Structure 1
C-alpha cells in the first residue's frame, strides 16, 4: 500500500510539472485521456482511497478541476477566461450510476437558460420607456438621449464612481463603433446614430473632468491625481478614457473639432502624468499637431506639451528635446512666406522647452552644435559639392539660428552660455566658406545672427568686415544686358532666399536689396555700439570704406543711401568725442566707464534716435512683403512689379527722406487707399444685391456636433 501511494505521488508530481508547460486546450485533452485510462485500468477498480478514483467520470473531472484551481491558480484562471463552458458540467442524477452510463456522464450538457439576442433588438423604438435603457441581462445596453441626460445629472450629484464608469464605457463603445465595428458587439453599451454619438462625446468633454475632480476631492489648479486617496478606485476608468481620447485624436481631421478635443486634453494632462505608459503615444500625436497642424492647432498642442513637460520628469524632457528638435529641422527644409510663420513658431516654442532644464539642454546643445561643426569641417577640408550643400541649406541655417537664440536667451551663469564662442566660430566660418555673390543672401542672414548675439549677450563680435567686403569686391556699376531690361521693375527679397541664380544676379532688384541690407545691418550695428566709449575709434575703418565706395560708385540711388549712412555715423562719432572730452577717463577703471556708457545710453545718441524711426518703417515694409498685401504696403515678393504712387515717388528713395516727410507721404497714401476701398465696397455691395446669401458661417458655427 505504501509503495502504491509513493508511485501515485510521483505520478502527480510529474503531472504537475507537465501542466506548467501546457496550454488550456492541451490540459483539457490530457485530462479527458487520463480519466479514460483509469476507467479501463483493471487495477484501478481493486483499490479505494480518498483521491476519488471510483467516482463517476464527470464528477471525477470536476474534482480534477478543483485540484487544478488549488495547485495551479494561474492556469485555472486562463481556462476560466478562455473556455468557461468546458468547466460547467451537469452531474445531477444518481451518483451510483452504472458503468454503462459512464459515457453519457462525460457529455457536456449546456445551460438551458441561455438566451440569444435577436437582431430586432437593435431596432427597438425609442418610445418604450421601460425597455429603451436596459436590454436583457445577456444583451447590450442601448445608449439613448434620455440615458445621457440621466448620466449628466448623476455626474453632478453622484458621489460614487458608477456613473463615471458607465460614461467611460459608453465612450469606449462609441470609439469602437468607428475604429472596429466588428468588435463593437463585445462592448456592454451600444451607441447608434450620429446624434447619440455626439451626445456621448459632448458629455465626456464638458462634464467628465469636473466629475473626476469632485470624486477625487481636488480643488487646486495644479494637482497630482495619483496622490488622492480615492484614485485607486477610478484608476482603471481614467486610464481607459485617456487611451480612447488619444485614439480619437488620430481619427479627427477637422481643425475646429481638433481644437475642442485638444483643449479638453489640456485639462486631462495632470491625469496622464499618473500613467507613464500613456506618455509616449500622447507625445507622438501632440508633436504631430505641433509640427504640421494649422496655426491654432499648433498653439493648443504646444500648451499641452509644455504642461506635460513641466512635470520635470527627465525621461519626458529627454524625449521632447530629441523629437522636437528633429521635427523642427525636418520642417525647416523649405522656407517661403507661407511656411516662415510656422518655422518661427516652432523655433520659439522649442526654445521654451529647452529652457525648462538648462543642464540637460546643455548636453543636447553640445552634441548638436558639434554635429554642425563636423559638417562645416568636412566642407572646408574635402571641398566637394555635396559637402558644401550640406552646409549651405535652410536646415543648417535654421539650426544655427535656433541655437543662437537659445544661447542669447540663456543667463550668463548658465551652462548654455558657454557655447557662445563655438557657435560664433561656426557662423563666421560659414560666411567665409563660399564668399561669392550668389550666396550673399546667406551671408547677410549669418551677419544678422551675429549682430543679434552681440546685442543680447553684450559681447563684441566684429561683423563690419563681412559687410564692407561686399562693397569693396562687388561691382555695383555693372549695367544689365539687353536681355534683362524687362526685369528692371522687379524686386528681390532675401527673407526667404539663400542663393541667387545667375539671371537674378543681373537684376536691378538684386543690387537694390544688397545695398538695402548693407545699409540696414551697418545702421543696426552702429546703433548697438553708439553709446560705447570706443565708438569713434572702432568705426574709422567703416568710414574710410564708405568714402571709398562713394568715390567709385556711379549709381545715384546707391550713393544717396551710403552717403546718408556715412553722415549718421560721423554725427554719432562727433557726439561721443564731445561727451568724453568733458570728463577725465581712467581706462583701467572699467566700472566708471560702464557707468558713463549707461548714462549716454539713457540720454540717447543721434544714430539711435534715427534708427528707432527707421526701424518702424522697415518693419512695416517687411510685414507687407511677407503678407504680399497691396493694402498693407508697397513692396512685393520676388517676380512682382513695384507699384508707383501718383506723385511718382520712387520707393528706393523712401529711406533717404526725412522721417517727417515719410510720415506725411504714408498718411496720404493711406487716405487714398481708404477712399478707393470704400468705393470698391459700395460697388461690390451693389453687384451682390441680387445674389442669394447664406447666413451660415461654417467656421463660426462649428461645434462638437459637427463631428459627422
Structure 2
C-alpha cells in the first residue's frame, strides 16, 4: 500500500512517513503491531508463535514509528531466543537480526546489552546436556556483536573489564563469596563467549587490547584455583588460551599449566566399580574422585589433548624443539611409572609423535642458512610445509580431536 519494499531500511521508510496515506493508516498499523505482540505473550503453541514472528519480522521497519512497541518487540524476541526450543529460538534471533539490520542506529546497543544479559542469566543453568543449546546462544551473540565491531567493541571491553575486576577482588581478598563469583558458569561462560568472538574476528580486525585482557583474565583464573579439584575449570581455561593463540598467531605459554594436571598421586586401586563421571558438566570435582585412578587417567589424557593442540599450533616453528623439551622429559618419566598398559600406549604414542616432530624441525633447522637474528626468515621458516598441513603431528592431533569429540558425545547421551 505504501510501496515500501521488504528490504526497506529505516532511512527510506522515514521519507514516506510524511505522506497522507501513512498518516491515515498509522493508527491501524500501530494496532496491528500491538496485537501481534500481545499474541506473542499469550499463545504457547510454537508453530503459532513462529508464524506471528514471521509477520512481525516482515513488518520490522514499521516499528521505527513506535518506540514503545519496538522496545517490547526486542524484549519478547530475546526472551524467546534464550528460552525457546531450537526452531523457535533460531527464528526469534532472526527477528533480532532484522531489527538490527533495519533499525541499526537506534537499537543496536540495546540489542547487544539485552542479549548478553539474557545469556549470562541463562548460563547459571548450564550443564553438558544442554551444551549444544549454549553453543547456539554463543554463536548467536558472536554474530550479533560482529555485525558492527566499531560499536560492539566498547561493550566487550566493558564486559572484560568487569570480569577482570571481579577476578582481582577474588585474588585480593581470597574470600569465599568472592571466589564463588569467579568459579561459576555465568563467569566462565562469559569469558568463553568473548574468546569465541575473538577467535572469529582476530584475523580481520585490530582487537589486540581485547585479546590481551582476555589472556590476563584466563591466566588469573588458572592461578587463582590451583588445586586438582579445579581440574575441569583449569582445563577449560587452557583450552581457551590455545584457541586464542591459534586464532591470533601469538604465542601463549600453557605448558606449565598443563603439566600441573598430571602432578597428582593416587592409589593404584582397581577402579572398575567407579561410575563414569562427566567432567564437562562441572568446574570442580568431588573429593572422592581425587582418590580414584580414573581421575588420574582423565588428567593425563586431558593433558595430552591440550599439549597436542598447543604443539599443533607451533609444530612448524623454529623453536619447537625447545618448546617440547620439558614436556617430553615429564611424560617419559610418567610413562615409566604407569602400570595401566592402555594408558601407557597413549602416552608413548604422544611421546613418539612429539619426538618425531622435534627431530624434523631440528633437521630443517640444521639445513637453514639464515642467522638467528633474521626475524623475517624465522617467521617464514617452513611456511610452505605449514600451509600444506600434512605433517605427521598434524594428523596425530586430528586423531586426538576425534577421540575427544567421541568421548564428549558419548557422555551427552
TM-score by length of 1: 0.55
Structure-2 change in CA distance of 1:361 and 1:220 (3 Å): closer
Equivalents in 1 of 2:230, 2:108: separation in Å? 37
Is 1:608 the counterpart of 2:394? The answer is yes
Query: Any idea what the Cα deviations from partners look like across 1:616-655, whole Å, max 9, x if unmatched?
Result: 34323322332x1xxxxxxxxxxxxxxxxxxxxxxxxxxx
- Number of the residue aligned with 2:291: 506
Partners of 1:359 and 1:415 within 8 A in 2: no
Equivalents in 1 of 2:403, 2:335: separation in Å? 25
Is 1:280 the counterpart of 2:71? The answer is yes
Shift of 1:220: 5.4
Shift of 1:428: 0.7
Shift of 1:461: 0.3
Pick the aligned partner of 1:474 from 255, 264, 284.
Answer: 264
Query: Any idea what the Cα deviations from partners look like across 1:332-374, whole Å, max 9, x if unmatched?
Result: 1132233222221111111111122223222222222111112
Equivalents in 1 of 2:324, 2:397: separation in Å? 17
Pick the aligned partner of 1:458 from 240, 244, 249.
Answer: 249
Structure-2 change in CA distance of 1:366 and 1:270 (3 Å): same
Secondary structure of residue in 2 paired with 1:533: coil
Pick the aligned partner of 2:101 from 310, 315, 333.
Answer: 310
Partners of 1:407 and 1:417 within 8 A in 2: no
Shift of 1:226: 3.6
Equivalents in 1 of 2:331, 2:31: separation in Å? 71
- Number of the residue aligned with 1:494: 279
Partners of 1:361 and 1:416 within 8 A in 2: no
Partners of 1:492 and 1:509 within 8 A in 2: no
- Number of the residue aligned with 1:435: 226
Pick the aligned partner of 1:572 from 357, 365, 389.
Answer: 357
Partners of 2:264 and 2:296 within 8 A in 1: no
Is 1:598 the counterpart of 2:383? The answer is yes
Query: Any idea what the Cα deviations from partners look like across 1:31-60, whole Å, max 9, x if unmatched?
Result: xxxxxxxxxxxxxxxxxxxxxxxxxxxxxx
Is 1:621 the counterpart of 2:407? The answer is yes
Structure-2 change in CA distance of 1:526 and 1:486 (3 Å): closer
Pick the aligned partner of 2:162 from 371, 375, 398.
Answer: 371
Secondary structure of residue in 1 paired with 2:276: coil
Equivalents in 2 of 1:287, 1:405: separation in Å? 20
Is 1:216 the counterpart of 2:2? The answer is yes
Shift of 1:593: 3.0
Equivalents in 2 of 1:444, 1:416: separation in Å? 25
- Number of the residue aligned with 1:225: 13
- Number of the residue aligned with 1:547: 332
Q: Which one has a bigger Cα radius of gyration?
A: 1
Query: Any idea what the Cα deviations from partners look like across 1:268-292, whole Å, max 9, x if unmatched?
Result: 1122234333211111111110111
Structure-2 change in CA distance of 1:415 and 1:504 (3 Å): same
Equivalents in 2 of 1:510, 1:334: separation in Å? 25
Is 1:420 the counterpart of 2:211? The answer is yes
Equivalents in 2 of 1:219, 1:436: separation in Å? 61
User: 1:239-388 to 2 correspondence within 5 Å?
Assistant: 239-311=30-102, 313-388=104-179
How many equivalent pairs are there?
Answer: 407
Equivalents in 2 of 1:546, 1:312: separation in Å? 57
Q: Which has the higher helix share?
A: 2
Equivalents in 2 of 1:513, 1:413: separation in Å? 37
Structure-2 change in CA distance of 1:328 and 1:240 (3 Å): same
Shift of 1:548: 2.2
Shift of 1:412: 5.5
Structure-2 change in CA distance of 1:312 and 1:574 (3 Å): farther
TM-score by length of 2: 0.92
User: 1:170-185 to 2 correspondence within 5 Å?
Assistant: none
Partners of 1:438 and 1:501 within 8 A in 2: yes
Higher relative contact order (CA 8 A, sep 6+): 2
Equivalents in 1 of 2:6, 2:278: separation in Å? 51
Q: What is the Cα-based RMSD across aligned positions, in Å? A: 2.1
Query: Any idea what the Cα deviations from partners look like across 1:443-486, whole Å, max 9, x if unmatched?
Result: 00100000001001111000111111222x3014x1348xxx67
My pick for the range that moved more, 322-331 or 222-231, is: 222-231
Structure-2 change in CA distance of 1:314 and 1:487 (3 Å): farther
Partners of 2:202 and 2:247 within 8 A in 1: no
- Number of the residue aligned with 2:313: 528
